[in-house]
Copies of this chain bind each other. A is one copy, B any other.
């Protein structure tokens, strides 16, 4: 345990010393079996990884550095101990990668599904907080990483589970090679954009920021609502992964709509003042390989619109979790 943990697990509560000069960023998010994951094709380690990743993604969206977490486990009696060990391994491996300390928790049995509920705590400087509020008309809209890959990964995994074998067996003859491995990994072990959030905050490059846990359309709506603005997103600009696009199109599915509405992409959506493009260049240099794509513009009118070849249409609403 780090020195700032005065009392760790094993007492009625944990006791920690706050980080000097910092403000604290706190979030809670739960993964529920049958709603957010399916144990048939999500291995225990991936459940633990994802449960922490969704919380780290929230910290990332605020520009916070992960520090501590409390874990609340709701366990069905049928869960094998080996699965619990695997879950903890996945969770603690990701925690270690982000220097996050598990300071406490609670375990209870349940007659229902497996639930992994986490509270994550991060730190930042008061003037570096990223928030949903702050976007202004004329700001440019950016997104990190690639879209729709996790959604395709989920579908590939589910098909494989339902066929009792490999998803490729009865599927159309499109690219089923290593690119779909990437999609599966993006679903099973999403990489929360903690470093991107820290660098965006450190460079004061973003006027607003949110994560994409519930899909791009939902995220755009989140910034728009809190900032009192609208947005036009450019369909052609969306950074949809090539393998994901081929897979979707081979099945007659609309890649743009999938990218807009599918959850599980733990990327960051953020806005940048035109005058701060130089700061964004600094962010790109520091982040190196993380793709950052301009996908739209903030508008004064509060509508959320999608620009396609045929013109402007309302942004599709809603997202879907695993069903």
Contacts of A27 in B (CB 8 A): 12-14, 70, 104
Give the distance in Å from the alpha carbon of A160 to the alpha carbon of B74 in the complex: 29
B23 touches A16 (CB 8 A): yes
A282 near B: Cβ within 8 Å?
no
Contacts of A124 in B (CB 8 A): 15
Contacts of A122 in B (CB 8 A): 13
A111 near B: Cβ within 8 Å?
yes
B25 touches A64 (CB 8 A): no
Give the distance in Å from the alpha carbon of A113 to the alpha carbon of B105 in the complex: 20
Give the distance in Å from the alpha carbon of A108 to the alpha carbon of B118 in the complex: 13
A126 touches B32 (CB 8 A): no
Q: A55-63, A148-156, A168-176, A296-304: which lies at the B interface?
A: A55-63
Give the distance in Å from the alpha carbon of A117 to the alpha carbon of B34 in the complex: 18
Give the distance in Å from the alpha carbon of A14 to the alpha carbon of B57 in the complex: 13
Give the distance in Å from the alpha carbon of A104 to the alpha carbon of B115 in the complex: 19
A50 near B: Cβ within 8 Å?
no
A18 touches B15 (CB 8 A): no
A17 near B: Cβ within 8 Å?
yes
A62 touches B109 (CB 8 A): no
Give the distance in Å from the alpha carbon of A23 to the alpha carbon of B24 in the complex: 13
B126 touches A28 (CB 8 A): no
Q: Name A73's closest neighbour in chain B (CB-CB).
A: B30
Q: Name A71's closest neighbour in chain B (CB-CB).
A: B28
| Contact with A7, one of B11, B17, B57, B131 (Cβ below 8 angstroms) | B131
B26 touches A132 (CB 8 A): no
A226 near B: Cβ within 8 Å?
yes
B129 touches A32 (CB 8 A): no
Contacts of A318 in B (CB 8 A): none
Contacts of A11 in B (CB 8 A): 62, 131-133, 226
Give the distance in Å from the alpha carbon of A64 to the alpha carbon of B6 in the complex: 14
Contacts of A46 in B (CB 8 A): none
B70 touches A35 (CB 8 A): no
A26 touches B14 (CB 8 A): yes
Q: Measuring CB to CB, which residues of chain A are less than 8 angstroms from any residue of chain B?
A: 6-7, 10-18, 22-30, 32, 34-36, 57-59, 61-62, 64, 68, 70-72, 74, 103-106, 108-113, 115, 117, 119, 121-122, 124, 126, 129, 131-133, 209-211, 226
24 A-B pairs (CB sep. < 8 Å) = A11-B132, A12-B59, A12-B62, A12-B211, A13-B26, A13-B58, A13-B59, A13-B61, A15-B26, A15-B124, A17-B126, A18-B22, A28-B72, A29-B106, A30-B106, A32-B108, A32-B112, A35-B110, A35-B111, A36-B108, A110-B112, A110-B115, A112-B113, A117-B117
18 additional A-B residue pairs with CB within 8 Å, beyond A11-B62, A72-B117, A112-B112 = A6-B129, A7-B131, A12-B27, A12-B61, A12-B62, A13-B64, A14-B25, A16-B23, A18-B22, A26-B68, A26-B121, A28-B70, A28-B71, A30-B106, A32-B74, A32-B108, A35-B108, A117-B117
